Structure 1
Amino acid sequence: MTDRVLIADDEPNIVVSLSFMLKREGYEVLVAPDGTQALAMIRGERPRLVLLDAAMPGMSGFEVCEAVRADPELSGIRILMLTAKGRDTDIARGMGAGADAYVTKPFSTRDLIVRIREMLA
């Protein structure tokens, strides 16, 4: 079975490059352009991993993360915050919201793929 990964980001360039990279690695890719759609897709599609931007229209990535962690049925879903918000307070907020990992933009695609593989292993 192919692992399903949701990219929740409102930046088209990021979505295109991440989609290409993940599909090349053999993952099934879902995309949500805002936090509200991301949460709906997480509930409906049950991806194994969510790459979640902190700053999105609708709900922020932090709010999406908190909502997922508050739902026991979604407890197995891994969340990697992938965001430009790199201050210590942002990282603490993301980890406090329940993220499994926090990566700041710009990021190394090679390092990110290694991290994704580890999280899905």
Structure 2
Amino acid sequence: MSKSILVIDDSASVRQVVGMALRGAGHEVCEAVDGQDALKKLDGRKFHLIVCDVNMPNMDGISFLKAIKQKPTYKFTPILMLTTESGADKKAEGKAAGAKAWLVKPFKPDVLLNAVTKLT
């Protein structure tokens, strides 16, 4: 079944790779360049999952997590952090802010798709 997924990353190439993997599996993808851009796209549309980078300009992934948890419509939307950050401290911070899963870049598309299946 097709899911609607928001992909947030300041790297166009990462958005492209993630988007291709997700679209290839039949999902609908919406892209945002950072947390602020993503918040503008959370306009009431239903997203089954959000894939979010940690290190981004304007608003980083952890700040975005905290902001989205304040929005009743998106409070329970699962968030998968896709990042180069592999440190336990960052993971703990992400989990505390509401991240459901953590995938470290570079990633294999099938690992991403397995995570999507588990979270949606």
| Same fold, TM-score > 0.5, yes or no | yes
TM-score normalized by structure 1?
A: 0.92
Verify: 1:93 aligned to 2:93, yes or no: yes
1:46·1:77 contact (CA, 8 Å) conserved in 2?
A: no
Verify: 1:58 aligned to 2:58, yes or no: yes
TM-score normalized by structure 2?
A: 0.92
- 2:63 alignment partner, SS class: helix
Give matches, 1:1-121, under 5 Å: 2-120=2-120
Separation (CA, whole Å) in 2 of partners of 1:45 and 1:59: 21
Number of equivalent positions? 120
Deviations 1:59-101 (A, max 9, x none): 1110111111122221231100111111111101111110111
Separation (CA, whole Å) in 2 of partners of 1:97 and 1:108: 25
CA drift of 1:32 comes to 0.2
Ranges in structure 1 where 5+ consecutive residues have no aligned partner = none
Considering only aligned residues, what root-mean-square deviation do their CA atoms show, in Å? 1.4
CA drift of 1:45 comes to 2.8
- 1:40 alignment partner, SS class: helix
Ranges in structure 2 where 5+ consecutive residues have no aligned partner = none
Aligned residue identity for 1:99: A
Considering fraction of residues, name the structure with more helix. 1
1:48·1:76 contact (CA, 8 Å) conserved in 2?
A: no
Aligned residue identity for 1:74: Y
Give aligned-pair identity as a percent.
31
Separation (CA, whole Å) in 2 of partners of 1:18 and 1:115: 12
- 1:116 alignment partner, SS class: helix
